[in-house]
């Protein structure tokens, strides 16, 4: 009798409440819709590949367990060691700016939780990611392996010299703070390639810098505000 009661309760729970996975799926979908709303108001539309990647990558698996319930809020979250997982809106924007295509080879300096690498790996052929903080790098590696990302290569160490063995890269993202763009990274970027660098403090991406290497090898940058903000009242 007790066994039947227990089974009944279990089935009731299963049917009465959606599984945790589906709750996260729904939250993720809402998050992507929110990002699309924000980007349509401020930036050019996101590429379908970026939207698909944001829909697919389970952000709740990249945040500490305490923050899982808030994983799909459109906000940065702490991941320990004074580091954060970026705001999803900014991740989508940076990924879109990199213009990554299927088969591309991408370098990431600053693995963090591994979320950005996972989003890139959904689009690119291979991702090479370097983390300078040893425990973070090890955790991210284990996480990415357990989630089955076979096209992400991780390394713990100094990202200044890039990953020469895997160079040249179609795109590079530098999420680790730096006072200047390391010259080796520019050398390891293919002509026509792009480097994206978010600038600002933790929790505060001030603007994004896009470095574009022209086919002739010369380099230009674009400084991009994530928001549409005209500094004069009355506008231009």
Partner 1 sequence: MARPPFIAIGLLSACVLAYEVLLTRLFSIVLWHHYAYMIISAAMLGYGASGTALTLLRERIAPHFGATFVAAATALAVLMPAAFLLAQQVPFNPLELLWDSTQPAKLLAVYLLMMLPFFCGGLGIGLVFAQFGRQAARIYACDIAGAGFGSMGVIAVLYFVPPSQILTALTALTLLAASMAVVELKLRPKWLTELFTGLAVLAVAALPDIQVHPSTYKDLSQALNIAGSHVVEQRSSPLGQITVVENTRVPLRHAPGMSLNATMEPPPQLGVFIDGNGPSALTRFDGDLAPLAYLGQLTSALPYHALAAHGIKQPRVLVLGAGAGSDVLQALYHGSAAVDAVELDRSVSALVSDRFRDYAGHLYSQPGVHLYTAEARGFIGIGDRRYDLIQVALLDSFGTASAGLYGLSENYLYTVEALQAYLGRLTPDGMLAVTSWLALPPRDALKLFATAVSALERDGVNDPGARLAMIRGWKTVTLLVKNSAFTTGEIAAIREFCNTRSFDPAYYPGMHADEANRYNLLAQPYFHEGAVALLSPQRKEFIDRYKFHIEPATDDSPHFFRFFKWNSAAEIFSLRAQGGMPLLDWSYPLLVATLVQAVVASLLLILAPLALSKCRRTLPGTPVALYFLAIGFAFMFMEIAFIQKFVLFLSHPLHAIAVVLCAFLMFASAGSWLAGRWRAANKVTLAVIAIGALSLLYSTVLPYLFQALAFLPDMAKILISVALIAPLAMCMGVPFPTGMMRLADTSGNAIPWAWAINGFASVVGAVLATLLAIHLGFSAVILLAVMIYAVACAALRGFA
Catalytic residue ranges: 86
Q: Looking at beta carbons only, is 61 or 187 nearer to partner 1?
A: 187
Rg of the chain taking only CA atoms, in angstroms: 20
The answer to whether residue 164 forms part of the interface with partner 1 (CB under 8 A) is no
Gap between the Cα atoms of 187 and 128, Å rounded: 16
Residue 49: CB atoms within 10 Å? 17
At its nearest, how many Å lie between partner 1 and the CB of residue 18? 25
The answer to whether residue 126 forms part of the interface with partner 1 (CB under 8 A) is no
For partner 1, which residue of 20, 22, 202, 214 counts as binding (CB under 8 A)?
Answer: 202
The answer to whether residue 52 forms part of the interface with partner 1 (CB under 8 A) is no
Residue 225 DSSP symbol: -
Residue 85: closest CA among 121, 114, 50: 114
Contacts of 15 by beta carbon, 8 Å cutoff, 6+ apart: none
At its nearest, how many Å lie between partner 1 and the CB of residue 162? 13
Tokens 């955790």 locate to 139
> Count of residues binding partner 1 (CB under 8 A)?
59
Q: Looking at beta carbons only, is 95 or 149 nearer to partner 1?
A: 95
The answer to whether residue 30 forms part of the interface with partner 1 (CB under 8 A) is no
> Can you tell me whether residue 152 is helix, strand or coil?
strand
Residue 143 half-sphere exposure toward CB, CA atoms < 13 A: 23
The answer to whether residue 27 forms part of the interface with partner 1 (CB under 8 A) is no
What part of residues 72-91 is at the interface with partner 1 (CB under 8 A)?
Answer: 74-76, 78, 80-83, 87, 89-90
Q: Looking at beta carbons only, is 19 or 218 nearer to partner 1?
A: 218
For partner 1, which residue of 2, 4, 150, 236 counts as binding (CB under 8 A)?
Answer: 236
What part of residues 133-162 is at the interface with partner 1 (CB under 8 A)?
Answer: 133-134, 158, 160
At its nearest, how many Å lie between partner 1 and the CB of residue 22? 25
Gap between the Cα atoms of 113 and 167, Å rounded: 23
Residue 122 half-sphere exposure toward CB, CA atoms < 13 A: 20
Q: Looking at beta carbons only, is 38 or 55 nearer to partner 1?
A: 38
């Amino acid at each position: 009798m007790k066994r039947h009661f227990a089974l009944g309760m279990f089935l009731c729970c299963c049917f009465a409440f959606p599984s945790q996975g589906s709750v996260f799926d729904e939250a993720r979908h809402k998050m992507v819709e929110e990002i699309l709303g924000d980007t349509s108001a401020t930036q050019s539309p996101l590429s379908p590949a970026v939207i698909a990647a944001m829909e697919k990558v389970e952000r709740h698996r990249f945040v500490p367990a305490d923050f899982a319930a808030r994983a799909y809020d459109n906000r940065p979250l702490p991941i320990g060691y004074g580091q954060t997982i970026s705001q999803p809106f900014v991740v989508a924007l940076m990924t879109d700016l990199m213009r990554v295509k299927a088969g591309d080879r991408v370098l990431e300096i600053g693995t963090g939780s591994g979320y950005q690498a996972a989003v890139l790996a959904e689009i690119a052929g291979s991702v090479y990611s370097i983390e300078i903080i040893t425990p973070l790098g090890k955790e991210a590696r284990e996480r990415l392996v357990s989630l089955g990302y076979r096209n992400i290569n991780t390394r713990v160490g100094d990202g200044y010299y890039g990953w020469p063995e895997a160079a040249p890269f179609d795109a590079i993202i530098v999420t680790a703070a730096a006072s200047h763009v390391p010259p080796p990274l520019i050398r390891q970027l293919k002509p026509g390639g792009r480097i994206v660098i978010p600038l600002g403090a933790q929790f505060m991406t001030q603007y994004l810098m896009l470095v574009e290497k022209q086919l002739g090898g010369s380099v230009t940058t674009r400084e991009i505000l994530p928001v549409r903000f005209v500094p004069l009242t009355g506008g231009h």
